[in-house]
Amino acid sequence: MEYGCRVEDGMRWLYVYLVRRLLAVLWIATFLIGITVYSLSKYNNAVDHEIQLNFENLLHRLQEDVRRTQMLLKDRVRECYLSNNLPKFLTNDSKELALPLPTVVDFLPHLYTVPNNALRPALIYPNNFSRMTKTDLVIGIPTVARRNHSYLIPTLQSVIGGIASSEIKMVSIIVLISDGKGSNSSFVKYQCTSLQSEFPHELNSGLLTVIVPPSEWYPDLYSVTPTFNDSPERMYWRTKQNLDYIYLMLYSQQRGEYYLQLEDDVLAKAGYVSRIRKFIDGRASDDWLMLEFSSLGFIGKLFRTSDLTLLLQFIAMFHKQKPVDWLLDLLFINRYCNPGNSTKHCAETVKQHRIRHRPSLFQHMGVHSSLAGKIQKLRERDFGKAQFYIPHRDNPPAKITTTLKTYMLFDIENAYTGSNYYWAFAPVAQDYILFDFYSAIALIGIVIRTGNPEHQDDILSESAEVLLRKVNEDSFISIARFNERGTVRVDFTESIRVNSLKIEIHEGSSNWLIINEMHIIVE
């Protein structure tokens, strides 16, 4: 029988076992006596009233015994957990625990009765690999299933695309896929497959890591006592969201110097890493607890990883009572404000420790919330114009021709040179884009992504394909088709000498076409 901590003392566990059995007996007795009292009440005329009162008193005493036994059992389980999972601060005679230290698990008591591996991710993807070398910045992004919408891949395209090549080794991105069914759910499997298809290099290099909490991490979220007249669905959603934040912070705490909290439906400014670094360096002497790079919710909030213990414990204390953005406000008020001073004075004091960067470096782009049925159109006013493309300015020189009809000034040449994205009217069958290189190239890879966060349907379908023409050959050969998300990515084990590349469209579409990234990778 597994009780959630390694057994060191057989007598202790025998005690716990017997207490559990006693608890079961008491519940059965309570049930039987309740039935008896009910039966007696049905025949009240035939039974002395004093006998009925005696039964009711006995029932009340048994109920009190059940409650006391439950508390005793909880204390014993906690004692076992502490004895096996925490350092022991002993008294002078080295026999008793002098200080019963509280832990975050005290606020998540269901963890006392589950196996220790509930604190380990059920899945670390890819292949249980995670970059263990500390980086300057750890970016945490939780994601959950939404009805008919997903913003995760556009978010990661923007977040990864906004990192300069010289900054890649400074950053780790941790995506937490949250599903109450654990790592074997269809949602988790689909997301991992999609991410592997879209970001193979980022996953294999350790820049991007995916984790999935085990199902045991979550208690029975349907039985959470409602607060603020919230519906059971909303209570489930915001309580689970708080637990996701806690898990993500716990995992990220040892992996970097700073932790940046994002959501799965945001856009990032190009060069945001260097801007964050500069803002931190400019406040080295300030007593800040949090730097804000977005004013919305829990987006763009940066902490020292050494301060995450305070934050996640505060969230854990009240994870069933309030949503995380409220708790964040309360943390600053409780830590820095004098109750005797005015609200205005408190706000000014908090600003010294909660410092806002302007303009915002992250924009909320989601409309459909992860809470089913909730529409949320919040936007940053000072974010400016969003960059809906990933620029590559090292593409080899080429003459580009196309049968597609370009929309306004969003032409293919600017997209190829990394100045903008390409936008065309709805393609028809037999349309193409042809790249004739001015001199032969040694091709080692291709990345072409279509659509963008605002126009997720403006993509090339799976019927579209990429072809190449090798040096000294007349005909094109097909090398890949676009996937269901409108992306094609090809990596060659050896370089290929190529004169031309071609994108062929075999089926028409009612949607327009956007190409937000084109990268022809050469030796």
pLDDT tens, position by position, 316-349:
999 999 999 999 999 999 999 999 999 999 999 9
pLDDT tens figures, 115-138:
777 788 999 988 756 556 789 999
Tell me the average pLDDT across 460-480.
Answer: 95
- Map tokens 């069914």 to a residue: 181
pTM: 0.76
Topology, domain 111-364: Spore Coat Polysaccharide Biosynthesis Protein SpsA; Chain A (3.90.550)
> How far apart (Å, rounded) are the C-alpha atoms in residues 161 and 208?
13
Distances in Å between the Cα of 32 and the Cα atoms of 38, 55, 166 are 10, 11, 72
Tell me the average pLDDT across 293-307.
Answer: 94
Domain 398-522 has what CATH class? mainly beta
> How far apart (Å, rounded) are the C-alpha atoms in residues 353 and 355?
6
Indicate the range of 93-107, 121-135, 283-297, 416-430 predicted with least confidence. 93-107
> How far apart (Å, rounded) are the C-alpha atoms in residues 52 and 34?
11
pLDDT higher than threshold 50 for residue 203: yes
Count of C-beta atoms within a 10 Å radius of residue 300: 27
- Map tokens 């856009």 to a residue: 267
- Residues 223 and 117 sit within 8 Å (Cβ to Cβ): no
3-state DSSP assignment of residue 429: coil
Per DSSP, 11 falls in state: H
- Residues 99 and 109 sit within 8 Å (Cβ to Cβ): no
Distances in Å between the Cα of 208 and the Cα atoms of 157, 196, 199, 323, 518 are 12, 10, 8, 28, 21
pLDDT higher than threshold 70 for residue 15: no
What does 347-381 look like in DSSP terms, one character per residue? HHHHHTTEEEPSS-SEEE---B-SSTT-B-----T
